[in-house]
Structure 1
Amino acid sequence: MNHVGEVVAALAAALAVLAWWPARPRPASVARSKTGGERRRWPILLILAVGAALVGGGGAVWVAIAVIAVGAGFGADRLVRARRSRLEAARVSGLVLGACETLAAELAAGRPPGRALERAVDDWPALARVAEAHRVGADVPAAWRTAAATPGAADLRLVGAAWQVAHRTGQGLGDTLDRVAQDLRGARATRRVVEGELASARATAKLVALLPLLALALGSGAGGDPWGFLFTHPLGLGCLALGLGFAFAGLSWIEALAREVDRP
C-alpha cells in the first residue's frame, strides 16, 4: 500500500468511527428531529468518504474500501443503538414497577391519590403529566395511557386500567394497584428468565461473528497474506463486504428476535 492509500484508508476509518461514536443523550422532546438528523448523516458521510478516496487518487479499490468502512460504521451504529434502546427499556420497566409499588404503598397508608401521585413523581419525574391531570381534574387513565407510549413503559396501561376500574366501580384503588404490582413482579421475573436465555444466543452470535478474525490471524501466521487479499483484490473486497453484511445481518436478526420475545 502506498502512502496515499494509507491516508485515504485512515480518513475513511475516521469517518466510520465518527459515524459510529455514540451520540449524547437527548431529551425525549427532540427524539424525532434527532432521528431525522441521523438519517441525513449517513449519506453525507458516505459522500465524504468516497470523495476523500477519489481526491486521494486511490482509485476504485479505495473507493470500495471507503464505502465498506462507512457501511460497517452504519451497521455498528445500528447495533449499538439497538442495545442502548433495549437497556433503556429495561430500566424504564423497572421504574414502572417501582411507581406501581409506591402508589400501592402510599394508598395503603391512607394517603389520597393526589399525594400518592406526587410521591411517585418524586421517584420518576416522567409521571408529572399524570399528576397534573389528576390535579386539574382531567382524564387520568388517558394520561396513564399516554405515559405508556414511552419505550419500556407499556405496563402503565395496566395501571391506567386499574385506575379507571376503581374510579367507576368504587373498588379500593390501593388494593387494585397492589394486585397490578404483583402481576408486574411476576412478569418481570419471567422476563429475567427469558433475558438469561437470550444472553446465551447473543453471546453465540457474537462469537460466530468474530470467528473470521481468528481465521485471518491464523492465515497470517501460516505465511499467507489474507489481509492483503481482502483489501487490495476486487474479489477480496467483495468477500469483505459480503462477510460484514452477513455478520451484521445475523446480529440484527438476534436483536429482532429478542424484541419480539420482550414485547409486552
Structure 2
Amino acid sequence: MTAQVQVAFAAALCAGGAAWVVGGRDDALRRARVIFGGDAPPAPHPALLGSLRSAVDRFGWQLGREVLCLPAGLLLALLAGSVLPALAGAAAVPLAGRWLRAREREAAVERCAVAVTVLCSALAGDLRAGLAPHAALAGALRRESWPDRPELADAALPLLAAARFGGDVPAALRSAAGQAGAEGLAGLAACWQVAVDGGAGLADGLDRVAAVLRAEHDQRDDLRAQLAGPRSTAAMLALLPALGVLLGTGFGADPLRILLHTPAGLACLLAGGLLEWAGLAWTSRIARSAEGTS
C-alpha cells in the first residue's frame, strides 16, 4: 500500500468516525456507502455504544462539531510524520467546544430577547382586541410557542401557571426576567403592576416597552455590523500563517518538516502559536468591550 493510499484511507476513516459522532449512525452509513461504493461496514456493538454514551453523560461531556479537530489533527500527523498535530487536534477539542457553546449561548440569548419583544407586541394586540389580561398573556405565550422553545421553556411554564390560575403575574415576570436575554420582561412586569385593571392602559405601556426593546435590538445589530469588518480582518490575518505553509509546500520547501522536526522550527512554531493566540484573544476582548459599552 503506497503512502498516498494510506493517507487517503486514514482520511476516509477519520471522516467516517467524525460523521458517526456528529451526524449519527444513519448519516454515517450513507456516507460510507457513497465513499466505498458498496455496503457500509457493520456498526459497533450496541453495548459498546451504550457504554460510550453513558460515559459521556456521566462526565457531562457534549460532543459536537468540535470533534472534527481530531480527524484533522490525525490527517496532518500522517502528512507531516509527527505526533504533534494529533496532540494539537486533541487539545483543540475542548477549546473549540467552549467556543461553540459560547456562540450557541449568545444565539439563544438573542432569540430570547427577540421573543420578549414579539410577546409584548402580541399581548398589546390581544388586549386591544378585548381579551382579559390573564387570558391574553396565556394565549400569547402559547401562540408564540414559548413552552416549546428550549431557551424560553423555563420562563414560560411559571408565566403560564400564573396567567391560567390567577397567580402573581408581576412576580412571575420579574423572576423570568433574571434569565439572560429576558430582561425586557421586567418592563412588562412594571406595566402589568400599574395598569392591570385597565387593558387599554396596559396595551399602551406594552407598546412603549416593545418600542424600546426594538430600538435596543437595532442598536446591537448596528454594532455587530460595525464590528464585522475588524473581526473578519483578524480572522483573515490569523489564517495567513497556514496559507504560508501551504505555499511553501507547493514550492517544495517542506515547511512542515522544518517546523515539526527541527529545534528551530519547533521554537518558531511555539512562538508563532502564542502570538497567534494573543492576537486573537486581544481582538476578541476589544470586540466584547465595545459590545458591553454600547
| Same fold at TM > 0.5 | yes
Name the residue aligned to 1:117. Answer: 137
Name the residue aligned to 1:37. Answer: 60
Q: Which amino acid aligns with 1:124?
A: S
How many positions carry a matched residue from both structures?
A: 235
Q: Which amino acid aligns with 1:153?
A: A
Gaps of at least 5 residues in structure 1 are: 24-32, 53-60
State the alpha-carbon separation in 1 of the partners of residues 170 and 288 from structure 2: 27
Name the residue aligned to 2:86. Answer: 66
Q: Pick one of 172, 178, 181 that aligns with 1:152.
A: 181
- CA shift, 1:98, in A, is 0.5
State the alpha-carbon separation in 2 of the partners of residues 36 and 151 from structure 1: 26
Q: Is the 8 A contact 1:102 1:119 kept in 2?
A: no
Name the residue aligned to 1:228. Answer: 257
Q: Which amino acid aligns with 1:218?
A: L
Q: Is the 8 A contact 2:173 2:186 kept in 1?
A: yes
What are the within-5 Å matches in structure 2 for residues 90-129 of structure 1? 90-121=110-141, 122-125=143-146, 126=152, 127-129=156-158
Q: Per the alignment, do residues 150 and 246 of structure 1 end up closer, same or farther by CA in structure 2, a change over 3 Å counting?
A: farther
State the alpha-carbon separation in 2 of the partners of residues 243 and 185 from structure 1: 44
Q: Per the alignment, do residues 245 and 109 of structure 1 end up closer, same or farther by CA in structure 2, a change over 3 Å counting?
A: farther
Q: Which amino acid aligns with 2:218?
A: A
Q: Is the 8 A contact 1:114 1:131 kept in 2?
A: no
> SS at 2:61's partner residue?
helix
Moved more, 81-90 or 189-198: 81-90
Q: Is the 8 A contact 2:169 2:189 kept in 1?
A: yes
Q: Per the alignment, do residues 93 and 136 of structure 1 end up closer, same or farther by CA in structure 2, a change over 3 Å counting?
A: same
With the length of structure 2 as denominator, give the TM-score of the two structures. 0.63
Q: Which amino acid aligns with 2:145?
A: W
- Over the matched positions of the two proteins, sequence identity in percent amounts to 36
Name the residue aligned to 2:193. Answer: 164
Name the residue aligned to 2:244. Answer: 215
State the alpha-carbon separation in 2 of the partners of residues 162 and 229 from structure 1: 68
1:136-164 deviations in Å (ceiling 9; x for gaps): 33332222233233332222222222222
Moved more, 183-192 or 144-153: 144-153
Q: Per the alignment, do residues 244 and 82 of structure 1 end up closer, same or farther by CA in structure 2, a change over 3 Å counting?
A: farther
- CA shift, 1:212, in A, is 0.9
Q: Per the alignment, do residues 75 and 159 of structure 1 end up closer, same or farther by CA in structure 2, a change over 3 Å counting?
A: same
